[in-house]
Amino acid sequence: MTVLDDINAGVREDMEDRKRLVSLAELKDRALAAAPARDAWAALGGASADRGELKVIAEIKRRSPSKGDLASIADPASLAVQYADGGAAVISVLTEQRRFNGSLADLDAVRARVDVPLLRKDFTLDEYQIWEARAHGADLILLIVAALSDQQLREFSALSRELGMNVLVETHTPEEVERAVAADARIIGVNVRNLKTLDVDRSVFATLAGSIPAGAVVVAESGVRNADDVAHYAAHGANAILVGEALVSDATPRERIAEFTAAGAAAIAARA
């Protein structure tokens, strides 16, 4: 069993517990009554006029399977405010509880404090989670190609769009990029962390990003330690970066986001 398989098994168990508390019908009512979703596509520079900037998806992340505990984050909403003040285009909130110590309560708290688009970062395996994301104020969800069939990719993407949300489609291999493109993904993430070993190989990004069609927003995921890593990704085609550990472990996340944005913009200008 791979790490992803193990995580997904826990996600399904926890979801079944939530289903016993809140029915799909009730979730649908909540989702349809929620305020309209914010436009994460536009926030990430989906319009060609904004492609000269590197966008930051700043993540609220307490722990990870590869590194263990990262930060306690007693007040995720306050951290989100710092992220927004630093210029984050999107804020990612991890809601998976077993491996990442996240929750939907974190998403609720952040939604109540910031106006920027929110990514519900979780392992989406069922339409229930999509309705759940919208009911709790998410504007963007994550779909991991390695965890889903082509039919699920299409159906989950379509449902998300119907609810006004955008989708970040995560890939790890050339074949997964092909599947994401075939599913008409507009925001494609390249995660350089191997899901079987959890090792990070930053060189993977350039290869995969080069096969993503022009017009898509390309997001570099994992492996951002400093401004040099940001510049590397931006130089090889990233329009945005998703970064968690480097921010939650930093005493000045607001300033770090500004530094990453500047490093990315300089690298994008140099490649033009």
User: What residues are annotated to the active site?
Assistant: 59, 61, 121, 170, 191, 221-222
69-87 burial: b if 16+ Cβ within 10 Å, else e: ebbebeebbebbbbbbebb
CA angle 226, 228, 230 (to 5 degrees): 75
- Mapped onto helix, strand or coil, the DSSP state of residue 223 is coil
Phi/psi of residue 234, each to 5°?
-65, -40
Distance between CA 188 and CA 170 in Å, rounded? Answer: 6
Question: What residues have CB less than 8 Å from 138, skipping those under 6 apart?
Answer: 37, 107, 111, 118, 119, 120, 165
Judge residue 114's burial from the number of C-beta atoms within 10 Å of its C-beta, 0-12 exposed, 13-18 middle, 19 or more buried.
middle
Which residue type sits at 78?
Answer: S
122: three-class secondary structure by DSSP? coil
Query: From residue 141, how far is each of 74, 92, 123, 267 by CA, in Å?
Result: 24, 9, 9, 28
